[in-house]
Structure 1
Amino acid sequence: MTTISLSLLGRQALFGWMNFALALPSIYLLLGMPLIMREYGWSGTDIGLFQLAGLPAVFKLCLAVPVERWRLIRGHYQGWSMLLCVLLAALLWGIGQQSLLSQREWLFGLALLVGVLATWADVPVNALAIKLLPESERMRAGAIRSASLFLAAIVGGGLMLVAHSRWGWQAPFALMSAVVLLGMPGLMCSADAPREATSYPRPGRAGVDWRGYFAQPGAGSWTCLLVLGFPFIGAAWLYLKPLLLDQGIPVEQVAWGVGVGGGVLGAAASIAGAGVARRMGLVRTIPLFTAMSLFALVCLTGAVWSDAGRAGLILCVALVAIAMGATSSLLFGLMMFFARPRQQASDYGLQASLFVISRLAVPVVAGILLDVQGYIGMLLGLTLAMSGVFMLAVRCRHVLASAVRRHSGSGICKGVREPASPSEPLLTESKSSFVATQDSGGSHDK
């Protein structure tokens, strides 16, 4: 293995670790902690209101503004990443010094601050990944990020609860603080020296240009897929645990089957998804992964409607986990291609906020359908919506693959139809910008 390959492997491991470390505190506080809260007499309303501590994730685009605007002379994203991660680690250590379960207002306020710092740190960390990793590594980076989030769900929703039960209140927070700090040496060695091509002009002043993001070729189709591609299969995953409990499956089996088994399958599917995209190309992969989500929802709906029993439901859990892992891997990878040079933080923050808003909104609508129509009605609604996403994927696959080709010239764009001439661009969404680029680069192409 060459020195360059080892360097890329180290960077992928670093950013995978940092995504795991930054997701872990919020998952523990919002998904793991409610079990402990219930033991200490918190009501359902109290626990529900505590979930508002996760709201900072919605405002990631706002947190990206200071990161993009206040630039450092050297190590811009690196400096922001280290500063925010050190603050997060210190806060986690401080929370662990005294149990706050009886001081609900303080616990909520500190959990909200944890959410702000973790969300804020996520922006420069992933902007740094976009800047340092070559285009050929971006799909793999998206896969590793997706797998990291699945593993964080397993650890934060399970192993940290075991640590609390055995060693008390302080243990999970000390461990999470240590996990964040373990990434510091890697960040210190990852200075983000400029590496963008000179074909991208430097803005006159540091700042945020979201209009320029939407002016990119293929940005309209990509934004639709980003917003709609995940939340329907994600909502089905969210309601799987109560569905299985209502079907009479014991709590422990649900926890192991969905929480651990499903998480491992999702992580494995995330890693495999990058290889599939590389070998098959985006033109085939985009509709394939959305078709997998649609197939999983059809199977789950059919299993509930036909009362397929425990074995059928467990099989559907596996299908949903695999589809969700593959889809999130694809979306996280493509997100990196649509982050412009010298605007990585703002473009990533905008895309991440759109993704989170849809991921939070769809389960609310699904919950209303569940109350009104039951599980079958809810799953039918999610299936119909996912069928629309599949048609969108089929319709825009060439546009997205061509846009990625223009960004990188990557081999993941197999099967893309090349435009016959500059006057017949494939990217109909951004015809004028395509023609302008062709005119300016025509002599080079010849």
Structure 2
Amino acid sequence: MSELTKNNLLFGILFTSFTTPFIFFMMGLPMILQMKGFDPSLIGFFQLIAIPTVLKFLFSTPIDKITFTKNHYKKWIYFTAIIYIILLISISFLSLEENPTLIFIAILITALISTFIDIPLNALAIKVFHKNQRISAGSFKISSFFLAGLLGGGVFLLIYNHLGWNFTFLIMALLILCSLIALNFIEESNEKIEEVKVSFKTIFSFFKQKDIGIWTFILMFYFAFISAVWVFMKPYLISKGINPDDVAIYVGIYGSIVGFIGGIATSIIAKKFTRKSLLISFMGFNILSVFILVIAEQINTSFNYYFITITFTALAIAFSSAIIFSMIMDYSRNNSRAIDYSVQASLFAFTRIISAVIAGLFVSKLGYSSMFIFEIIGMIFVIFIIYKFFENNRAC
């Protein structure tokens, strides 16, 4: 086995294990809350646990200030992972039914640690992989995220359905603990990497770029509407009386596989069209995906019909996220790539969270049909703004 393959596998194990609980919080917990009979507004409110991702660009400060002579990033990963494990074990002994507020606070803190640990892990990857190896490393990282989606949004829901809350979190904690073995086989040099320090001046300078206004609008709202629909896909199917195991398998596992295929398809399709054409086409596909759900609300449907909606929505998620993340790199300047990427990722995460909260309120007060129609109206507005004002016609 080559050194590159070995490191890809080791980092893949770490990225997958560290991301899986966060995916479970974001995509598995909504289904559990629906099964427990909680109000849909609470399902949307629980999406606020992703708030730490909005502040991610500020988390590098302690890592820069508290340094270790040897294995600097590996030690940060070890210490943070231990805290991560302790928090997951603690959550396993809490009761969702008796104290959802305490569960929310505990999960929010755990999500904070999950977001934080990503910083030294990515920094370690930058040190380990040479420049000509990073395309391969990036591909493995994306695959790891899809695998984490399969585990956190599918497999661990099945574990919850059959073994309960306590064992679900204990097994997740065990997964992270076992993954730390991989860290022992990664060699970190003592080379010190100079990081661009975060400052408000650098952050604000990002917004002085040409045509940044229309891009900021697209960044914040393009993905938000279809994301809200995907968040409520599992609760929606549960509300239709579909077996929880089937929901976990088809949305969590099958949906992740479809998303993986959609991501590959996007990389092929993108070579033949301009960014503007792709943005408009993919948004049109998003509208079609949600419109199928609107029709489902008006007629009596079988599970086969819902299977189609899962397929279309999973593809819509893959298409939309792929084009947005590729364009985030376009707007990341050479001399401040890390900060620019973090700023854009924070804006992206913020509106995705808020959209889920609003969607929960719609479902709670007016039902799923109204929520789906609201998301379609939002998408139509976004596609109109892109058609009217976005002029970036460079080919991808």
| TM-score, reference length from structure 2 | 0.76
Provide the residue aligned with 2:80 in structure 1: 88
The residue correspondences of 1:233-244 to structure 2 (distance < 5 A) are 233-244=226-237
Taking structure 1 as reference, are residues 342 and 268 closer, same or farther at Cα in structure 2, changes over 3 Å only?
Answer: same
Provide the residue aligned with 1:212 in structure 2: 205
Provide the residue aligned with 2:174 in structure 1: 174
**Letter matched to residue 392 of structure 1:** I
Number of positions where the alignment pairs a residue of Structure 1 with one of Structure 2: 383
Provide the residue aligned with 1:303 in structure 2: 296
Between the aligned partners of 1:153 and 1:318, the Cα distance in structure 2 is 15
Provide the residue aligned with 1:27 in structure 2: 23
* 2:227 and 2:352 in contact (8 A); partners too: yes
Given the alignment of the two structures, is residue 251 of structure 1 paired with residue 247 of structure 2, yes or no?
A: no
Between the aligned partners of 1:12 and 1:228, the Cα distance in structure 2 is 33
Provide the residue aligned with 1:364 in structure 2: 357
Taking structure 1 as reference, are residues 242 and 42 closer, same or farther at Cα in structure 2, changes over 3 Å only?
Answer: closer
Given the alignment of the two structures, is residue 118 of structure 1 paired with residue 111 of structure 2, yes or no?
A: no
Deviation at 1:263, TM superposition (A): 2.0
Provide the residue aligned with 1:63 in structure 2: 59
Between the aligned partners of 1:293 and 1:34, the Cα distance in structure 2 is 21
Q: Which runs of 5+ in 1 are unaligned?
A: 195-201, 403-412, 415-446
Identity of counterpart residues, as a percentage? 23
Of residues 293, 302, 313 in structure 1, which corresponds to 2:306?
A: 313
Taking structure 1 as reference, are residues 84 and 221 closer, same or farther at Cα in structure 2, changes over 3 Å only?
Answer: farther
Taking structure 1 as reference, are residues 392 and 83 closer, same or farther at Cα in structure 2, changes over 3 Å only?
Answer: farther
* 2:146 and 2:256 in contact (8 A); partners too: yes
* 2:238 and 2:244 in contact (8 A); partners too: yes
Deviation at 1:83, TM superposition (A): 4.3
The residue correspondences of 1:368-383 to structure 2 (distance < 5 A) are 368-383=361-376
Between the aligned partners of 1:136 and 1:250, the Cα distance in structure 2 is 44
Describe the SS at the equivalent of 1:188.
Answer: coil
Deviation at 1:348, TM superposition (A): 2.5
Deviation per CA, 1:136-176, whole angstroms, max 9, x where unpaired? 977994x7655543432321244345667399464321212
Taking structure 1 as reference, are residues 252 and 361 closer, same or farther at Cα in structure 2, changes over 3 Å only?
Answer: same
Between the aligned partners of 2:7 and 2:390, the Cα distance in structure 1 is 30
Q: Which runs of 5+ in 2 are unaligned?
A: none
Given the alignment of the two structures, is residue 159 of structure 1 paired with residue 177 of structure 2, yes or no?
A: no
Deviation at 1:232, TM superposition (A): 0.7
Between the aligned partners of 1:264 and 1:54, the Cα distance in structure 2 is 23
**Letter matched to residue 174 of structure 2:** A
**Letter matched to residue 175 of structure 1:** L
* 2:47 and 2:356 in contact (8 A); partners too: no
* 1:53 and 1:115 in contact (8 A); partners too: yes
Taking structure 1 as reference, are residues 322 and 366 closer, same or farther at Cα in structure 2, changes over 3 Å only?
Answer: same
Taking structure 1 as reference, are residues 318 and 340 closer, same or farther at Cα in structure 2, changes over 3 Å only?
Answer: same
Deviation at 1:277, TM superposition (A): 1.8
Of residues 308, 331, 343 in structure 2, which corresponds to 1:350?
A: 343
Deviation at 1:340, TM superposition (A): 2.9
Deviation at 1:379, TM superposition (A): 1.0
Provide the residue aligned with 1:436 in structure 2: none
Between the aligned partners of 1:363 and 1:323, the Cα distance in structure 2 is 17
* 2:84 and 2:113 in contact (8 A); partners too: no
Deviation at 1:315, TM superposition (A): 0.7
Taking structure 1 as reference, are residues 267 and 340 closer, same or farther at Cα in structure 2, changes over 3 Å only?
Answer: same
Deviation at 1:311, TM superposition (A): 2.4
* Alignment RMSD (CA, Å): 4.4
Between the aligned partners of 2:389 and 2:137, the Cα distance in structure 1 is 22
Of residues 321, 336, 350 in structure 2, which corresponds to 1:328?
A: 321
Taking structure 1 as reference, are residues 311 and 25 closer, same or farther at Cα in structure 2, changes over 3 Å only?
Answer: closer
The residue correspondences of 1:212-231 to structure 2 (distance < 5 A) are 212-231=205-224
The residue correspondences of 1:42-61 to structure 2 (distance < 5 A) are 53-61=49-57
Between the aligned partners of 2:132 and 2:391, the Cα distance in structure 1 is 19
Q: Which of structures 1 and 2 has the larger relative contact order (alpha carbons within 8 angstroms, sep 6+)? A: 2
Whose radius of gyration is greater, 1 or 2?
Answer: 1
**Letter matched to residue 366 of structure 1:** A
* 2:259 and 2:314 in contact (8 A); partners too: yes
Of residues 222, 237, 259 in structure 2, which corresponds to 1:266?
A: 259
Deviation at 1:18, TM superposition (A): 5.0
Between the aligned partners of 1:26 and 1:340, the Cα distance in structure 2 is 29
Between the aligned partners of 2:185 and 2:47, the Cα distance in structure 1 is 33
Describe the SS at the equivalent of 2:209.
Answer: coil
Between the aligned partners of 1:286 and 1:215, the Cα distance in structure 2 is 23
